[in-house]
Chains A and B, each alone.
Chain A
Amino acid sequence: MTRLATCGLIDRAQTLRFTFDGRAYQGHAGDTLASALLANGVRLVGRSFKYHRPRGIWGLGSEEPNVLVELRDGARQEPNTRATTAELFEGLSARSQNRWPSLRFDVMALNGLLGPLLSAGFYYKTFMWPAAFWEKVYEPLIRRAAGLGRAATAPDPDRYERMHAHCDVLVVGAGPTGLAAALAAARTGARVILADEDFALGGRLLAERQEIDGAPATGWVARVLAELQNLPDVTLLPRTTIFGAFDHGTYGAVQRVADHLAEPAPGQPRQRAWTIVAKRVVLAAGAVERPIAFPGNDRPGVMSAAAARGYLHRYAVLPGRRAVVFTAGDDGWRTALALRDAGAEVTVVDPRDRPACPGLRVVAGARVVGTGGRLCLISVRLDTGEAIAADLLAVSGGWNPTLHLASHQGGRPHWDEALAAFLPGTPPPGMAVAGAAAGRFTLAACLADGAAAGLQAARDAGHEGQPLALPRADDEPAGLRALYHVPGRKAFVDFQHDVTADDIALAAREGFRSVEHAKRYTTLGMATDQGRTANVVGLAILAEATGRGIAETGTTIFRPPYTPVAIGALAGAQTGPDFRPTRLTPLHAWSARHGASFVTTGAWLRPEWYARPGEAGWRDSVDREVLHVRRAAGFCDVSTLGKIEVVGPGAAALLDFVYANDISTLKPGRIRYGLMLREDGFVLDDGTCARLSENRFFVTTTTANAARVMQHLEYAHQVLRPELDVSILSVTDAWAQIALAGPRARDVLAQVTAQDVSNAALPHMACTEAVFAGGLRGRLYRLSFSGELAFELGVPPDDAEALADRLRAAGAEPYGTEALGVLRIEKGHAGGGEINGQTTAGNLGLGRMLSRRKEFIGRVMAQRPALVDPARPVLVGLRGDGLRTGAHLLEPGAAANTANDLGHVTASCWSPHLQAQIGLALLSGGQARIGTRIRVYDALRGQDGEAEVVAPVFIDPEGTRTRA
């Protein structure tokens, strides 16, 4: 055990049990998986991606490149989580990745011997030939050998949700800079959101032993958080990563609501994706320490010096008893002193000339050139020739500002030679970068910078307040000599992608000198951590190899997401049947009670048929429903039709403009079948238009095109005819609409209304206000899509069930969409299969509807030569066994190829009325082919047959039934 008895921010009273690779361990509340493993002396925790080299913990937080683990089991199994960010909980089971059969003995470590084959650009070189080998041999081999964790194969049992928020000031990062910024902004009364990816707020202050106002800094953190918590307009978001900066002050965030629990509490989401719109943003994301590339720098036991200090102070873990600190700057010395004070034996190796220090062994002017040990570090070799026995090598190569969000909108970081760091370029509008993220690496500077940036942000967002009285703190020494690289083999730059210094030098030699090319050739910085620890070292080596400076070499920029985001969090609740809302008609429950099964039609569920006991299959139900309509009366829920009211002095003129046929000549109380064209001349939609009064029209659309027609009407009005005084309102949900059809429809209707519904009082295509039995107020339209005497009854949704009950009691039977389809095919009405975006009015046999006396949308383009070409397929009827929708039509005897294609079957059904298989089709030269036979060829279903071409109206072509 390496846990110290005192210090740290863990709760020793709370012991948590967990397993790693099947072995049981214990940690405490406040631990991460990484700190708990270190406390248990576990140092080998992963294998590297390509060479399967043993790896240990390098970092303290989300910058960790090595230790990706699988968490949990079964459906909740989750790969590639950083052990350094996984909060420990009771019963956590974690596993190492990318090893077989075990972490200690990994067969694939042989890849290390193949190193020369797997060097930079190996994808492009090694496996080029023979080409067929790629798919069959190389790729499967590489995939098995190099990889990350395994995702769960069962569906995710957890919920995710999405949240939207607005604020004046968004502060990213809750270290000293972010806390000062949030406090300064919040005290002005501004709406502030403070987000940090850690579960504890305080940032680097939690990992240091520093003083603010003469007392431990953690006390200041607690006081600031307490004040912020009590302000009503401040939202604190721990466990929340701001992962992307998008246009116009929009930020994406993911909150790990229940990742620290074995499973979410009932009703609690696992994660929550936020869209935050901020007037101003203070980026206070801090900085992470970068490594130095030297031979053997990836051995478990080699760790970031700042992380080593963090494990000591925050988690009370002593990461090594015999430590070597290899540091190019003053920061590493703080780690050395902290380790010394905790009782470790410490040697400091510094390339600079440094004086002696009590309690430390100092080797000044030296570098580390190698490490020893198989699965863990046991020794460190210096360029002085000395070898030092050690179980910890803490490395400090300087700091990289965490400037990712500042470059998400394209701002290119620039190199600051004095600080030896990339600093943010132009950040997105509204963002200020403060503290260590802006290259101010000391505590007093961070506090001052954060306070100033927070106040300025609040002022820019329209609030006013006083500058914060700055707490007292010191600026720690921050001297640094830029040192990136100690030459030698197996000096790792990108730990996660196994890119070495040699790989980068090789890329430069082979001509990949541009930073963008070298990145892609070596895959430097292209792993899941986007090279957070690797990039600067890699660029420095590339700069050296190409004889340029780092400033001249430049850097690649970062893109969202800052850290990986689960797709589930982004999808939120929109999965499976909840992918979009399901719309139910007012009669849905009634239909279900009467045996209906339902079919998805766009967003709607509609009754497809109403099965009865004893019916062997759906055909029995549909045939019965169709015949009942043809012989007596049936009714159908058509509430899904789009319904639009068009009202105002300009309503008739607007409808004349959007319909291809005349509407303004329609008399109040009458209905007209209407056809709308697109501006390019093709048919958009069909439906009915009832003139309720002089300036009030009721328009219906097909179910599928309801939203589109609404948008089309608004476009025609607002963009093309703004001078017209019209209001347009969707009333689809305001009316339950029921079609009543059949020779006995009038008898049924007479039983549900006292009104005169005779042919004289209510002729075909007339409409009226109506009162139905029981005092239900509504509207009555006489129109037909089935070819029968038919009406449509409209009532408020709450009255729909009562009306349906009365219709049924009066002898009408409900029918579903399948019967509706059979009835319309028998009558030859164009539907979705025919109005398919590629047909003209003429193709559908509706050419005579196009008005010659007015201007309307689509009129000019409908006259294009190609659209009036007589060879275009036109609507015909077909009769023949085996007709199936989608089958192609050919001249009998013609070869089945595209050149001979004459059209296709657009709809087909069994007609119980005609006792025949019938269909509708779009057929080239169809009018002239009526009475002939045609080949019906269905390659998809392997069917080939013949059918008779007939007129598209199979029933009552004169319309006497409809007008009866």
Chain B
Amino acid sequence: MRIPCPLCGERDAAEFSTIGSAPPPRPSADAPMEDWHAYLHLRDNPAGLHAELWQHIHGCRQWLRVMRDTRSHAVASAEACRP
């Protein structure tokens, strides 16, 4: 698989590591426990376009938000989390 890093260009997936699904926004400190539970543990598992976090650990070390189709592995976009 190839991932188009916005800083380094298209690179082999072996240069990256991933934590899987991109988590929802981090709840505020006073949010109810249910929100924190959802933030930490609940993820969709779609057959189709899927937002994922990948880090280019053997390159620029940027964390990337990658939109990837889980059926075809086609990467629709990859953007730096901190542009």
- Where the two chains meet, the residues of A that have a C-beta atom closer than 8 Å to any C-beta of B are 164, 246-250, 275, 277, 679-680, 711, 714-715, 717-720, 722, 855, 859-861, 864
In the bound assembly, the distance between CA atoms of A679 and B23 in angstroms comes to 12
Q: A247-B1, A248-B73, A715-B63 are in contact. Are A860 and B81 (CB under 8 A)?
A: no
Q: Which residue of B lies closest to A248 (CB)?
A: B2
Is B40 part of the binding interface, using a Cβ–Cβ cutoff of 8 Å? yes
Q: Do A855 and B29 have beta carbons less than 8 Å apart?
A: yes
Q: Do A711 and B57 have beta carbons less than 8 Å apart?
A: yes
B65 to chain A, nearest CB (A): 9
Chain B residues with CB under 8 A of A250: 1-2, 12
Q: Do B2 and A249 have beta carbons less than 8 Å apart?
A: yes
Q: Do A860 and B29 have beta carbons less than 8 Å apart?
A: yes
Chain A residues with CB under 8 A of B26: 720
Q: Do B29 and A719 have beta carbons less than 8 Å apart?
A: no
- Most chain B CB atoms below 10 A, which of A246, A248, A277, A859: A248
In the bound assembly, the distance between CA atoms of A367 and B16 in angstroms comes to 60
A247 to chain B, nearest CB (A): 4
Q: Which residue of B lies closest to A275 (CB)?
A: B12
A864 CB contact (under 8 Å) in B1, B17, B33, B62: B33
Interface string of B40-83 (1 = CB under 8 A from A): 10000000000001010100011100000000010100001110
Q: A277-B12, A680-B40, A711-B55 are in contact. Are A722 and B1 (CB under 8 A)?
A: no
Q: What are the 8 tightest A-B residue pairs by CB atom distance, in nearest-first order? A: A248-B2, A722-B82, A718-B82, A247-B1, A718-B63, A247-B73, A719-B81, A718-B81
Q: Do B36 and A860 have beta carbons less than 8 Å apart?
A: yes
Chain B residues with CB under 8 A of A717: 82
A861 CB contact (under 8 Å) in B17, B36, B63: B36
B74 to chain A, nearest CB (A): 8
In the bound assembly, the distance between CA atoms of A258 and B14 in angstroms comes to 28
In the bound assembly, the distance between CA atoms of A202 and B57 in angstroms comes to 43
Q: Do A719 and B36 have beta carbons less than 8 Å apart?
A: no
In the bound assembly, the distance between CA atoms of A142 and B2 in angstroms comes to 44
Chain A residues with CB under 8 A of B82: 717-719, 722
Q: Which residue of B lies closest to A855 (CB)?
A: B29
In the bound assembly, the distance between CA atoms of A164 and B17 in angstroms comes to 20
Using A248-B75, A250-B1 as known contacts, list a sample of 17 further A-B pairs with CB atoms less than 8 Å apart, ordered by residue number in A: A246-B1, A247-B1, A247-B2, A247-B73, A248-B2, A277-B2, A711-B17, A711-B55, A711-B57, A714-B61, A717-B82, A718-B63, A718-B81, A719-B53, A720-B26, A859-B29, A864-B33
- Number of A-B residue pairs, CB cutoff 8 Å, is 49
In the bound assembly, the distance between CA atoms of A679 and B19 in angstroms comes to 14
A784 to chain B, nearest CB (A): 33
A907 to chain B, nearest CB (A): 30
Chain A residues with CB under 8 A of B81: 718-719, 722
A638 to chain B, nearest CB (A): 25
Chain B residues with CB under 8 A of A248: 1-2, 73, 75
Complex interface residues of chain B between 1 and 34 (CB less than 8 A to chain A): 1-2, 12, 17, 26-27, 29, 31, 33
Q: Which residue of B lies closest to A723 (CB)?
A: B82
In the bound assembly, the distance between CA atoms of A679 and B27 in angstroms comes to 12
Q: Which residue of A lies closest to B1 (CB)?
A: A247
Q: A718-B81, A722-B82, A864-B33 are in contact. Are A679 and B40 (CB under 8 A)?
A: yes
In the bound assembly, the distance between CA atoms of A595 and B43 in angstroms comes to 53
What's the interface size class on B, roughly?
20 to 34
Chain A residues with CB under 8 A of B62: 718
Q: Do B36 and A714 have beta carbons less than 8 Å apart?
A: no
Chain B residues with CB under 8 A of A275: 12
In the bound assembly, the distance between CA atoms of A249 and B40 in angstroms comes to 35
Chain B residues with CB under 8 A of A247: 1-2, 73
In the bound assembly, the distance between CA atoms of A250 and B1 in angstroms comes to 7
- Most chain B CB atoms below 10 A, which of A246, A711, A719: A719
In the bound assembly, the distance between CA atoms of A911 and B14 in angstroms comes to 46
Q: A720-B26, A722-B81 are in contact. Are A714 and B55 (CB under 8 A)?
A: yes
In the bound assembly, the distance between CA atoms of A246 and B26 in angstroms comes to 36
Q: Which residue of B lies closest to A857 (CB)?
A: B26
Chain B residues with CB under 8 A of A720: 26
Q: Do B63 and A719 have beta carbons less than 8 Å apart?
A: yes
A717 to chain B, nearest CB (A): 7
Q: Do A861 and B12 have beta carbons less than 8 Å apart?
A: no
CB pairs A–B below 8 angstroms (22 shown) = A248-B2, A248-B75, A250-B12, A275-B12, A679-B40, A680-B40, A711-B17, A711-B57, A714-B63, A715-B55, A715-B63, A718-B80, A718-B81, A719-B63, A719-B82, A722-B81, A860-B27, A860-B29, A860-B36, A861-B36, A861-B40, A864-B33
In the bound assembly, the distance between CA atoms of A485 and B21 in angstroms comes to 53
Chain A residues with CB under 8 A of B57: 711
In the bound assembly, the distance between CA atoms of A360 and B55 in angstroms comes to 70
A559 to chain B, nearest CB (A): 16
B72 to chain A, nearest CB (A): 8
In the bound assembly, the distance between CA atoms of A480 and B61 in angstroms comes to 60
In the bound assembly, the distance between CA atoms of A855 and B26 in angstroms comes to 12
Chain B residues with CB under 8 A of A861: 36, 40
Chain A residues with CB under 8 A of B27: 860
In the bound assembly, the distance between CA atoms of A275 and B75 in angstroms comes to 20
Chain A residues with CB under 8 A of B73: 247-248
Q: Which residue of B lies closest to A860 (CB)?
A: B36
- Most chain B CB atoms below 10 A, which of A249, A718, A861: A718
In the bound assembly, the distance between CA atoms of A826 and B3 in angstroms comes to 50
In the bound assembly, the distance between CA atoms of A722 and B82 in angstroms comes to 5
In the bound assembly, the distance between CA atoms of A720 and B28 in angstroms comes to 12
In the bound assembly, the distance between CA atoms of A785 and B73 in angstroms comes to 49
Chain B residues with CB under 8 A of A855: 29
In the bound assembly, the distance between CA atoms of A507 and B21 in angstroms comes to 45
In the bound assembly, the distance between CA atoms of A164 and B26 in angstroms comes to 40
B35 to chain A, nearest CB (A): 9
In the bound assembly, the distance between CA atoms of A715 and B17 in angstroms comes to 12
In the bound assembly, the distance between CA atoms of A277 and B9 in angstroms comes to 14
B39 to chain A, nearest CB (A): 8
In the bound assembly, the distance between CA atoms of A637 and B72 in angstroms comes to 50
In the bound assembly, the distance between CA atoms of A249 and B1 in angstroms comes to 8
Chain A residues with CB under 8 A of B53: 719
Chain A residues with CB under 8 A of B12: 164, 250, 275, 277
Chain A residues with CB under 8 A of B36: 860-861
In the bound assembly, the distance between CA atoms of A711 and B16 in angstroms comes to 12
Q: Which residue of A lies closest to B3 (CB)?
A: A248
In the bound assembly, the distance between CA atoms of A720 and B26 in angstroms comes to 7
- Most chain B CB atoms below 10 A, which of A246, A714, A859: A714
B83 to chain A, nearest CB (A): 8
Q: Which residue of A lies closest to B11 (CB)?
A: A277
Chain B residues with CB under 8 A of A164: 12
In the bound assembly, the distance between CA atoms of A367 and B75 in angstroms comes to 55
Q: Which residue of A lies closest to B61 (CB)?
A: A714
B64 to chain A, nearest CB (A): 9
In the bound assembly, the distance between CA atoms of A861 and B17 in angstroms comes to 25
In the bound assembly, the distance between CA atoms of A101 and B18 in angstroms comes to 55
Q: Which residue of B lies closest to A679 (CB)?
A: B40
In the bound assembly, the distance between CA atoms of A719 and B53 in angstroms comes to 9
In the bound assembly, the distance between CA atoms of A248 and B75 in angstroms comes to 9
A606 to chain B, nearest CB (A): 24
Chain B residues with CB under 8 A of A860: 27, 29, 31, 33, 36
Chain B residues with CB under 8 A of A246: 1
In the bound assembly, the distance between CA atoms of A495 and B24 in angstroms comes to 56
Q: Which residue of B lies closest to A250 (CB)?
A: B2
In the bound assembly, the distance between CA atoms of A861 and B53 in angstroms comes to 22
In the bound assembly, the distance between CA atoms of A861 and B37 in angstroms comes to 9
Chain B residues with CB under 8 A of A277: 2, 12
B71 to chain A, nearest CB (A): 10
In the bound assembly, the distance between CA atoms of A714 and B59 in angstroms comes to 13
A412 to chain B, nearest CB (A): 15
Q: Which residue of B lies closest to A714 (CB)?
A: B61
B42 to chain A, nearest CB (A): 13
Q: Which residue of A lies closest to B22 (CB)?
A: A719
In the bound assembly, the distance between CA atoms of A717 and B29 in angstroms comes to 17
In the bound assembly, the distance between CA atoms of A680 and B41 in angstroms comes to 9
In the bound assembly, the distance between CA atoms of A164 and B27 in angstroms comes to 43
